[in-house]
């Protein structure tokens, strides 16, 4: 068998010639750690929608690329990313999510403002050479684009607009920035994080995994868009909303007010590398973020977003329930397929396959980007 370097090089071709990501990348502990280093700590990472940090002091804690971090909205409305570790003797500062006026360390009470500056340190005022400004929280870069959060854990950060290339231009037909989140749910899936994003982005499995549900909605997609930037995207024509199953299409939500006509009859599936993917429909957006937990499990967040005027409709709860049902059904059908794939990937006989270029276009684009990351820094 080819060595890993040669196998990854086989991913760096257009979909017609490329091979899939080596199975070892879905099962190896060493590569799992290498991904933290080369994928999650060096690139911009999408953390889903920014509107869940609506007011100052709203925060969430998470582990990203093996680093515990705090995502927080400060007093000036700026989104901040801090290392979740105290500048005194490194205790973890916050847990879970919530709202805070200050960040107070539970160990010895050092207190930080929402901009990360140290505002209080009990009994430290007479300590020689102790200067509060030397002990601000370690911070990283966070920015917002189209209502999405992007963070970078590399201090020599690449420019986000260069990273995203023509992402905003390609998504201009949908009023994505102004959408509001009406549901965010979390689930743990027993597969590698890449496998979860792969399956959301391909049409090939639909007749086999979703024969009586999603397969009835979708036709063959258009060829993938040519893009500049760390993402892949593909439009698929469908009748009516892609967020509803065939038998519940008579109760759709209204189409977005400012959506361009040319994209009304279909859904645009976008994968922002490495870990965030979303589908833009004529009435709503559905988003998945996948974060590695272990080599064979990941934490997935599903978010559903609609225009504010749609969320304000009197019969919104009734109408959106059919959509939520469709998304939940889709996931429930995908999960056994993913668990089954993960078992197959773990076989010592697993080897690289080939892509169906139209139906797995985004998956092939990600495989190329992934191989570029691992190889360019080795």
- For binding to Fe ion (CB under 5 A), which residues are involved? 334
From the list Fe ion, ligand FES, none, which binds 135 (C-beta under 5 to 8 Å, kind-based)? none
Q: How wide is the angle at C-alpha 276 spanned by C-alphas 185 and 301, nearest 5°?
A: 10
Summary count for the chain: helices (H), strands (E): 9, 16
Of the pair 89, 101, the CB lying nearest ligand FES is at 89
List the one residue out of 298, 312, 310, 378 whose CA is nearest residue 341.
Answer: 298
Q: Which long-range contacts (CB under 8 A, 24 or more apart) does 275-278 make?
A: 275/40, 275/45, 275/46, 275/193, 275/197, 276/45, 276/46, 276/47, 276/48, 276/148, 277/197, 277/200, 277/201
- What is the number of the residue whose Cβ is closest to Fe ion? 334
From the CB of 115, what's the least distance to ligand FES, in Å?
Answer: 18
Q: How wide is the angle at C-alpha 23 spanned by C-alphas 18 and 25, nearest 5°?
A: 95
From the list Fe ion, ligand FES, none, which binds 91 (C-beta under 5 to 8 Å, kind-based)? ligand FES
Of the pair 206, 253, the CB lying nearest Fe ion is at 206
Of the pair 35, 334, the CB lying nearest Fe ion is at 334
From the CB of 103, what's the least distance to ligand FES, in Å?
Answer: 10
Residue 338 dihedral angles phi and psi, to the nearest 5°: -70, -40
Q: Which residues pair with 287 in a beta bridge?
A: 278, 303
From the CB of 276, what's the least distance to Fe ion, in Å?
Answer: 17
Q: Which residues pair with 238 in a beta bridge?
A: 218
From the list ligand FES, Fe ion, none, which binds 170 (C-beta under 5 to 8 Å, kind-based)? none
C-alpha 79/C-alpha 354 separation (Å) is 41
Of the pair 52, 88, the CB lying nearest ligand FES is at 88
From the list Fe ion, ligand FES, none, which binds 110 (C-beta under 5 to 8 Å, kind-based)? ligand FES
Q: Which residues pair with 112 in a beta bridge?
A: 103, 118
Of the pair 67, 104, the CB lying nearest ligand FES is at 104
From the list ligand FES, Fe ion, none, which binds 67 (C-beta under 5 to 8 Å, kind-based)? none
From the CB of 81, what's the least distance to ligand FES, in Å?
Answer: 19
Residue carrying the six token digits 């027993």: 190
From the list Fe ion, ligand FES, none, which binds 289 (C-beta under 5 to 8 Å, kind-based)? none
From the CB of 122, what's the least distance to ligand FES, in Å?
Answer: 8
From the CB of 88, what's the least distance to ligand FES, in Å?
Answer: 3
From the CB of 72, what's the least distance to ligand FES, in Å?
Answer: 17
Of the pair 105, 197, the CB lying nearest ligand FES is at 105
Residue 289 dihedral angles phi and psi, to the nearest 5°: -110, 140
C-alpha 282/C-alpha 257 separation (Å) is 9
From the list Fe ion, ligand FES, none, which binds 105 (C-beta under 5 to 8 Å, kind-based)? ligand FES
**Site residues for ligand FES per CB under 6 A:** 86, 88-91, 105, 107-110
- 3-class DSSP string for 83-98: ECCCCCCCCCCCCCEE
Could you give the C-alpha distances from 211 to 245, 269, 374, in angstroms and in order?
12, 20, 36
Question: Which pair of structure tokens corresponds to residue 123?
Answer: 């009994």
From the CB of 109, what's the least distance to ligand FES, in Å?
Answer: 6
Of the pair 109, 312, the CB lying nearest ligand FES is at 109
From the list ligand FES, Fe ion, none, which binds 114 (C-beta under 5 to 8 Å, kind-based)? none
Of the pair 57, 120, the CB lying nearest ligand FES is at 120
The arrangement of strands across the sheet holding 67-73 comes to 44-49, 148-152, 139-145, 79-83, 67-73, 58-64, 97-99
């Amino acid at each position: 068998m080819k060595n890993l370097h040669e196998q990854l090089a086989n991913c760096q071709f257009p979909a017609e010639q490329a091979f899939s990501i080596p199975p070892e990348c879905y099962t190896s502990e060493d590569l799992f750690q290498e991904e933290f280093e080369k994928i999650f700590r060096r690139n911009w990472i999408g953390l889903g929608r920014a509107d869940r940090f609506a007011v100052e002091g709203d925060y969430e804690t998470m582990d990203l690329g093996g680093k515990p971090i705090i995502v927080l909205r400060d007093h000036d409305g700026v989104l901040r990313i801090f290392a979740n570790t105290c500048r005194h003797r490194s205790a973890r500062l916050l847990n879970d999510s919530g709202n805070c006026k200050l960040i107070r360390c539970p160990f010895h009470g050092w207190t930080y403002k929402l901009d990360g500056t140290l505002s209080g340190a009990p009994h430290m005022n007479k300590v020689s050479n102790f200067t509060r400004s030397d002990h601000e929280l370690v911070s990283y870069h966070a920015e917002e684009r189209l209502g999405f959060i992007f963070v970078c854990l590399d201090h020599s950060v690449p420019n986000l607009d260069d990273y995203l290339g023509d992402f905003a231009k390609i998504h201009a037909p949908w009023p994505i920035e102004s959408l509001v989140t009406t549901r965010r749910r979390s689930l743990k899936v027993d597969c590698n994080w890449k496998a979860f994003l792969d399956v959301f982005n391909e049409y090939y499995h639909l007749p086999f995994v979703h024969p009586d549900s999603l397969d009835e909605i979708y036709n063959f997609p258009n060829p993938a868009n040519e893009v500049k930037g760390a993402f892949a995207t593909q439009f698929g024509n469908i009748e009516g909303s892609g967020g509803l199953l065939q038998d519940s299409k008579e109760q759709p939500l209204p189409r977005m007010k400012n959506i361009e006509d040319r994209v009304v009859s279909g859904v645009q599936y976008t994968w922002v590398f490495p870990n965030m993917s979303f589908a833009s429909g004529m009435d709503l957006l559905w988003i998945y973020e996948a974060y590695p937990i272990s080599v064979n499990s990941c934490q997935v967040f599903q978010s559903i977003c609609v225009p504010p005027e749609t969320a304000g409709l009197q019969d919104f709860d009734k109408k959106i329930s059919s959509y939520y049902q469709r998304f939940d059904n889709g996931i429930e059908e995908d999960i056994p397929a993913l668990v089954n794939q993960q078992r197959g990937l773990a076989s010592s006989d697993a080897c690289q396959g080939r892509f169906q270029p139209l139906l797995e276009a985004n998956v092939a684009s990600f495989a190329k980007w992934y191989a570029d990351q691992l190889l360019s820094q080795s």
